[in-house]
Structure 1
Amino acid sequence: MPSDSYLNPASDDFPQPRPAFWIGQHDTARVEALTDGHYHQMQNCGYDFATAPITNTHFHQRVKALYHSHVSALQASTTLTSKQKTNPSLPDPVLPTLTDEDTSLGPCPYIGNVLAYSSPWIDLGSSDPVVASLSRQALNLEVAFANWCGVRSVVVPGPRADEDARAVAQFARAILETFDVATRVNIIIHLPMYREPGLEEKTPLLSTELLDSREAAAAGQKAAQTEDEIDLFGAWDTWHTIRSVCNYATRLYAGKLPKRLPEMELQTRWFAEPLHYLTLGPTTFQANKSGNPSLSRHHQDLIFTYMRLKTAPWFLLYDVGPTTASLDAAVASASALTSDFPSLADAKSSPLPGVSPYIMYMNYLQRQQEPYSQLETETLTSFQDWLQSPLQPLSDNLESATYEMFEGDPVKYNLYEEACYQAMSEWKTLNKPTSSPRSANGGPLELIVTVAGAGRGPLVTRALRAADRSGVPVQLWAVEKNQNAYVYLLRQNATVWGGRVNVIKTDMRDWAGPVPLTASGSPASAPTKVDILITELLGSFGDNELSPECLDGIQRHIARPHGLSIPESYTAWLSPIATPKIHANLKTVLPNDANAFETPWVVRLFQMDFVAQKVPGKPRFQQAWEFVHPVWGSLQEQWEEIKGERMPRTLNGGGAMNNSGGLNEHNARQCHLTFYCRPRGVCHGLGGYFESTLYTPQAEGSEGAKKDLVELSILPDQIDRKSRDMVSWFPIFFPLKQPLYFPQDSELEVTMWRQTDDSRVWYEWIVEAYTWVGAKTRVKVGSSELHSSKKVACLMQ
């Protein structure tokens, strides 16, 4: 019988090829859309798609003529003295609709492979209101027509400077309007990664052509003054303003890759942004030893990083050929070859273009991509930045498929087995007492082991394997409340474990404890204690699936003082992040889920940026709190000792937190963390992670050496060292309703609470931004509101 992977070549068992490069061509000198012949010759050069200007020079001249006629009419009808002002109520000129003379673009068989390019002379940020109005109207006409033709994306050249906030805001407002004009196409803002000299748009703006030459000269002088002062984050600031005004609409932008890549902080900032095209021009490439185009190692690494995205970007090569003239010659030659019967010599001398050397290099680069790693299977890649609601393990019974997904991680279970093996081996080495009646009065060593929340039994299997490896006999209990999983556990015990396991169906918090076999083989008269309690109740934030609350209900069975819990402790960690893609997705979820921005989401954070830097005393990842097990002397134990009965799970009317009885208040937590952010940026929420110590060795290793802890971690800077290739947990994301912008050299103050009212657990969080204005003076520059997941709290019942 063939396996599923044999029947399905796309299975994760087969190495999958890296994404193919989709490469397009853009010519800044092109003023007419490609003809069918031009497009076919472009394909012969190796390109997959090409840009097309939406309008031509006729439309350009018509806009300028309308401006001149409007100004002339205004001057003819109004006689102004030096003290008079133009009536602001006079109407601006209205640009008539497009005609067939204004554009050569139209529906065609390959329209899906056409990238429409808006006119670069359009000046949406002009200080002249008439020029700005005409530019806005021209853009709307172009976008509407491109949308009608069926193109998928329209590229709009972005603002040419970042210092003029008025012009940037004006540009952003005009882009917002295009979303109503074009309902289907993507609006792509063409911006550089930073304002590197040589990447400027060369086409004069409408303002430069129409306004007084003195104004144009003054603008050019101002640009020359700022040319030597490159603000690396200026272009990103402009983009952030545009997408904020557009309310994080699901639109994309293209970035021009510079000749010299900037610092890594700016590269990771742009990596987090929604990207559809990477634009490479002639200055980006450099000639290799044979004179062919190539890219630097830094550019290659950047491209390979982008190609790891679930939706990999496309490439747009500009001004590297073929030119319009060469395409005209190729079309004419192709027409001659098909209409006549040329000789071989004529065919050989034909100017038909071959594959572009730039395309050949990009194809070579495509083949140089490293194969997928174990963490980049097709399944895991599909989970990039995909929002998942946290599990409710106490109130819900998990499906078999959910258990199966968790069981597919050998790294986690190898670590659990190692922790059990070391604990059992050291138990024998240290000659510790046990809770088994068979070990009493000098009997052979035997441990009482319990797996609580056994699920389908993977930890049971590993505990039995650890016992066999260590040579320490065990009596093992598997406790599970899910009645469906209970059936599976019974079957596993009969067919796999050889009846070595006592399977118990109950909530672990209600379990009366193990009743072991005595030396005579008969059950003991009363429950005994547990030597080793094993659980896998950890969530993405450590405690978010109520591991502390679950263990509170069962840890009373752990033997004192020698009994232990695996895991023995876990810590929650936080870091502020920028993730515009997830923020935009949450906005689309919000109409159907009023709590979207109050929910801690489980998500494989990928296209994101850590906005904090690592500095002394303020690391990028900081610990929020810790839980340690077992906990002796809990409020529940005190109640039982005094009243001789189990404490109810809820007590109302007390003075504890949230007017509860305080039963679970010892599991409440609070933290206040300070993160340093060197460049200016924006925070969309908090990335949450956890680490856990499964077992701390108590005996010395060989030659007195201290043994390493058995740990697992999902912290980005620790996972490779402690639990490499582990995939059981994705991070947790605490979103902010409104993105928090902060200036350069800011400090983000993060305050979070773990709250409870004895029946449920939830989180509350707030982020504040401060900046230093003096040696001892710090001012607040922004703050989020207080978020609370109380309405989607994790239930304790």
Structure 2
Amino acid sequence: MSSDGGLNPESETFESQSRPVFYIGQHETNRPEPLTDDQYSLLLNTGFRFVTAPVTNQRFFQRVVDLHKAYLKEREQWAQEHGLSAAQLQNPSLPGPVVPTLTDEDTSLYPSDYIGSLAVYLSPWIDLCSSDPHIASISRQVLNLEAAYANWCGARTIIIPGPRKDDDGRGIAQYARAIREALHSAGRANIVIHMPMYREPGLDETAETLSSIFGPENGTKEDASKEIDLFTTWDSWNTIRSVCNYSMRLFVALRIPRRVPEKTLQERWFAEPLHYLTIGKDVFQPNRAGHPSLSKHHQALINHYMRLRSIPWIILCDVGPRPEELSIVAEPMAVDFPSLAEATQALKEKRKPHMPAINAHVAYMKFLERQQPPYSAMETPALTSFQDWLQPPLQPLADNLESATYEVFEGDPVKYDQYEKAIAQAMLEWRELKKPMSGEGPTPDSPRELVVAVAGAGRGPLVTRALRAAEATRTTIQMWALEKNQDAYVYLLRKNKVEWGNKVNLVKTDMRGWEGPQAQGYETLIGKVDILITELLGSFGDNELSPECLDGIQKHLARPHGISIPHSYTAHLSPISTPRLYADISSRIATDPNGFETPWVVRLFALDYVAQKVPGHPRFQQTWEFVHPVPILRTEQFVEEHGDISRYTTGGVGSIAGASGSNEHNARHCHLTFVCPTRGVIHGLAGFFESVLYASQTGEGKDPIEISILPDQIDRKSKDMISWFPIFFPLKVCDSSSRSLAFDTELEVSMWRQTDDSKVWYEWLVEVYAWVGPKTRIKVGASELHSSRKVACLM
């Protein structure tokens, strides 16, 4: 391999597939007809896996051109015969040209065994954006004829050339409406719009359009000196997919430019439904050995995009073999009896005689495939399958979890390693600070024991870690494990006998109803817990009701020195663009009317963080915090002041109507401001959490032991932890794609954690502001107030 990323194809050997696989196809801009069977076989022998195919041929193109010419000539004759003026000829009621149906002479595409492996490419000469209503009408008719016929032939993918320019919206609106119609015409095929990443000169289609034939409208070239707005092409795509209601059958084929754009635009396209990455011949550069290669920036871009769950396929454009080369099919006798020179050359090129050599560009791309970074610990097949897959959050209080669910949680060593470190440090510092222990030994002369309780033990992983920490620190403990799930309790009983040597006191109970540990040798005396351990955290920290659960059990903590692990946790938000999730939720509204009111647990992957980090306004911002233990328990205080809580069911103490207010201290509210310098669309809010499991109490400046799923902190605090995916709060409407919002857009995010003493839910609202002066900003948009009350987490 050369220093600039090239290779000698003959020097590379096959490696095992521990990386994404490149599925490489070929597109020839000037291919007039689909390949014959023999030509298709020859092309596959050059290393390609699939090929594009036109629906119609040059004869059909000429027939359409002649049709419009005849219409224009007929209109002139009308004007001469009837004395019509130019203004009268613009009468919208005058009939326009109608494209007749296809004939067998217009196409060479027919149903075949391999039609499903062809990417059908519609005619690039149509102009759906034309301001001439007749050319736009003809283009739309051709689009529907070709799309419907390709769909009938069995094509699974139809590629449609994208608009040639990004205008003020009129032409793009026409184009978008036509694509929406094509989705109905081709009801079984995926529609792929071929778009440039940005308007780099020379990156668009080169084929002559109807508009350029019949007028100078689209024949004029863009001013090369004009500054390029990187986001205009994405604006056009956003209009197209919005008009098509985020159809799950609508995708993008992204033209890779010669000059790779800034990271912000790369991430914006990364979030879109990419089906193909297309690379033209001009993007490749010869290396020192003369072989084609790509720059380091192109390699990094491709490697990044190939990490998507649905790996985009790669189409190489105009890199050969050319149509005329494939038309030369060797005579059977010549193939059987090649000359000595032909046989020697074929052997050298590792091919059969009279077969084309492996394409140099394909060979380079296969080399690039092998040079990708291997799959990481976070890219196992199981984890990859969860990318951008919506899951309703768990209801651990209302539902009993399955054994398989526990098993998934237990497969994360990082989380339990951090818990074990926290428990061990807490035990060491307990002894170092000479805190009293609450447990009595088996005899009056026995030393005191540290009482440790795991609340919500599940199948016991935290119990195992607590016992291991006690052994490592040589701490004598009295171990308690609480579990409300009857089936999990049975498993714990067996584990206590087989693994723990009956060292654990097991109690089947909801932690909130536990009466506390009974002192050894006494039946009625209730003791205290020195270290309380739980793993009740959710993707947003508190969304699985950790605060409410700990409220019900922390009264058993020894005061003032009792320890809760975790000690605290914070929730964080960031606005994101994630078209895939928005399309997914939109598609299921008929069966799930609460889709946009549900906080979904999802492994966010194909997304764009639209907010930027600026002073005072980070990309990820904290919403609120919970700290344990709470010095004053609201429930106990309420009972002391008001008596039995059950008597207060109609509110009246400043709480939610119908609630007693005993859980009001766990309600929260935040108001955050995010800065979005580039225009875009906000589809929802990504939620994360961080937790301090244990903070040193010795005052020696030790770092706290933490876990985090914040993207900018997880590698530092709990690298490769997989127990929690982020949470996603969707938005119904929040569009900031207008050109006037290109810079200095601010998002004001309001969120509430609400409770009525029987359940907990979230409410969220996003408002969009734009600066119109040095000290003046105006509100330009807002989402609805969303509420998850109908799918609230039950207490």
Q: TM-score range by the shorter chain?
A: over 0.9
1:319-338 alignment runs, 5 A limit: 319-329=318-328, 331=329, 333-335=330-332, 337-338=334-335
Q: CA deviation at 1:106?
A: 1.4
Q: CA deviation at 1:246?
A: 0.5
Partner SS for 1:738:
coil
Contact conserved, 1:417 with 1:462, CA < 8 A, in 2? yes
Does residue 495 of structure 1 match 2:498? yes
1:272-283 alignment runs, 5 A limit: 272-283=271-282
Contact conserved, 1:600 with 1:733, CA < 8 A, in 2? yes
Match of 2:185 among 157, 178, 181: 181
Instruction: Count residues with an aligned counterpart.
Output: 764
Does residue 715 of structure 1 match 2:718? no
Partner SS for 1:66:
helix
Partner SS for 2:206:
coil
What one-letter code is carried by the residue in structure 2 that aligns with 1:280?
I
Does residue 689 of structure 1 match 2:688? yes
Tell me the residue number matched to 2:358.
355
Tell me the residue number matched to 1:585.
584
Does residue 167 of structure 1 match 2:165? no
Match of 1:126 among 125, 130, 136: 130
After superposition, give the CA deviation of every residue in 1:228-265 in whole Å (9 maximum; x if it has no partner).
22110111111101000000011211001111100000
Q: CA deviation at 1:490?
A: 1.1
After superposition, give the CA deviation of every residue in 1:166-189 in whole Å (9 maximum; x if it has no partner).
111100000000011001111111
Aligned-pair identity (%): 60
Contact conserved, 2:651 with 2:661, CA < 8 A, in 1? no
* Whole-Å separation in 1 of the counterparts to 2:283 and 2:176: 28
Q: CA deviation at 1:195?
A: 0.8
Q: CA deviation at 1:282?
A: 1.2
Does residue 71 of structure 1 match 2:72? yes
Partner SS for 1:686:
strand
Does residue 381 of structure 1 match 2:384? yes
Tell me the residue number matched to 1:548.
547
Tell me the residue number matched to 1:244.
242
Q: CA deviation at 1:208?
A: 1.2
Partner SS for 2:281:
coil
Contact conserved, 1:613 with 1:678, CA < 8 A, in 2? yes
Tell me the residue number matched to 1:413.
416
Q: CA deviation at 1:439?
A: 11
Tell me the residue number matched to 1:478.
481
* Whole-Å separation in 2 of the counterparts to 1:649 and 1:174: 63
* Whole-Å separation in 2 of the counterparts to 1:86 and 1:267: 45
Tell me the residue number matched to 2:112.
108
Q: CA deviation at 1:477?
A: 1.0
Tell me the residue number matched to 1:5.
none
Match of 2:404 among 401, 406, 415: 401
Tell me the residue number matched to 2:349.
none
What one-letter code is carried by the residue in structure 2 that aligns with 1:157?
P
Tell me the residue number matched to 2:26.
25
Tell me the residue number matched to 1:344.
340
1:92-107 alignment runs, 5 A limit: 92-107=96-111
* Whole-Å separation in 2 of the counterparts to 1:608 and 1:496: 44
Contact conserved, 1:533 with 1:565, CA < 8 A, in 2? yes
* Whole-Å separation in 2 of the counterparts to 1:267 and 1:255: 11
Tell me the residue number matched to 2:13.
none
* Whole-Å separation in 2 of the counterparts to 1:336 and 1:117: 36
* Whole-Å separation in 2 of the counterparts to 1:204 and 1:324: 20
* Whole-Å separation in 2 of the counterparts to 1:125 and 1:195: 16
After superposition, give the CA deviation of every residue in 1:107-164 in whole Å (9 maximum; x if it has no partner).
2222122111111110001101011000000010011111111111111110111123
Q: 1:466 to 1:82 in 2, by over 3 A?
A: closer
* Whole-Å separation in 2 of the counterparts to 1:192 and 1:34: 26
Partner SS for 1:283:
helix
Q: CA deviation at 1:438?
A: 4.4
* Whole-Å separation in 1 of the counterparts to 2:225 and 2:240: 23
Does residue 234 of structure 1 match 2:232? yes
The 10-residue stretch of structure 1 (632-641 or 787-796) with the greater mean CA deviation from structure 2: 632-641
What one-letter code is carried by the residue in structure 1 that aligns with 2:69?
H
Match of 1:738 among 725, 733, 736: 733
State TM-score, norm by structure 2: 0.93
Q: 1:699 to 1:346 in 2, by over 3 A?
A: closer
* Whole-Å separation in 1 of the counterparts to 2:417 and 2:492: 21
After superposition, give the CA deviation of every residue in 1:564-622 in whole Å (9 maximum; x if it has no partner).
11001000000000100111111222111000111000000011111111110000000
Tell me the residue number matched to 2:767.
768
Tell me the residue number matched to 1:670.
669
After superposition, give the CA deviation of every residue in 1:745-781 in whole Å (9 maximum; x if it has no partner).
2111111000111110000111111111100110112
* Whole-Å separation in 2 of the counterparts to 1:282 and 1:248: 32
Tell me the residue number matched to 2:210.
206
What one-letter code is carried by the residue in structure 2 that aligns with 1:314?
W
Contact conserved, 1:428 with 1:445, CA < 8 A, in 2? no
The 10-residue stretch of structure 1 (83-92 or 170-179) with the greater mean CA deviation from structure 2: 83-92
Tell me the residue number matched to 2:294.
295
What one-letter code is carried by the residue in structure 1 that aligns with 2:703?
D
Q: CA deviation at 1:308?
A: 1.5
Tell me the residue number matched to 2:62.
61
The 10-residue stretch of structure 1 (419-428 or 351-360) with the greater mean CA deviation from structure 2: 351-360
Partner SS for 1:387:
coil
* Whole-Å separation in 1 of the counterparts to 2:430 and 2:662: 34
Q: 1:558 to 1:206 in 2, by over 3 A?
A: same
Tell me the residue number matched to 1:652.
650
Q: CA deviation at 1:83?
A: 5.8
Partner SS for 1:565:
strand
Tell me the residue number matched to 1:449.
452
* Whole-Å separation in 1 of the counterparts to 2:434 and 2:774: 60
Partner SS for 1:326:
helix
Partner SS for 1:267:
helix
Q: CA deviation at 1:74?
A: 2.9
Q: CA deviation at 1:16?
A: 6.1
Contact conserved, 1:510 with 1:553, CA < 8 A, in 2? yes
The 10-residue stretch of structure 1 (444-453 or 270-279) with the greater mean CA deviation from structure 2: 444-453
Contact conserved, 2:734 with 2:782, CA < 8 A, in 1? no
* Whole-Å separation in 1 of the counterparts to 2:767 and 2:442: 58
Tell me the residue number matched to 1:4.
none
Partner SS for 2:378:
coil
Q: CA deviation at 1:92?
A: 2.2
State TM-score, norm by structure 1: 0.93
* Whole-Å separation in 2 of the counterparts to 1:255 and 1:334: 40
Partner SS for 2:426:
helix
Q: 1:533 to 1:169 in 2, by over 3 A?
A: same
Tell me the residue number matched to 2:10.
none
Match of 2:461 among 458, 463, 466: 458
* Whole-Å separation in 2 of the counterparts to 1:570 and 1:127: 58
Partner SS for 1:365:
helix
Contact conserved, 2:539 with 2:724, CA < 8 A, in 1? yes
Contact conserved, 2:734 with 2:781, CA < 8 A, in 1? no
After superposition, give the CA deviation of every residue in 1:194-251 in whole Å (9 maximum; x if it has no partner).
111121221121011123xxx44xx555x43376221101111111010000000112
Contact conserved, 1:439 with 1:446, CA < 8 A, in 2? no
Q: CA deviation at 1:640?
A: 3.7
What one-letter code is carried by the residue in structure 2 that aligns with 1:120?
P
Contact conserved, 1:445 with 1:472, CA < 8 A, in 2? no
Does residue 135 of structure 1 match 2:134? no
After superposition, give the CA deviation of every residue in 1:368-388 in whole Å (9 maximum; x if it has no partner).
122211111111111111111
1:610-629 alignment runs, 5 A limit: 610-629=609-628
What one-letter code is carried by the residue in structure 2 that aligns with 1:365?
L
The 10-residue stretch of structure 1 (58-67 or 752-761) with the greater mean CA deviation from structure 2: 58-67
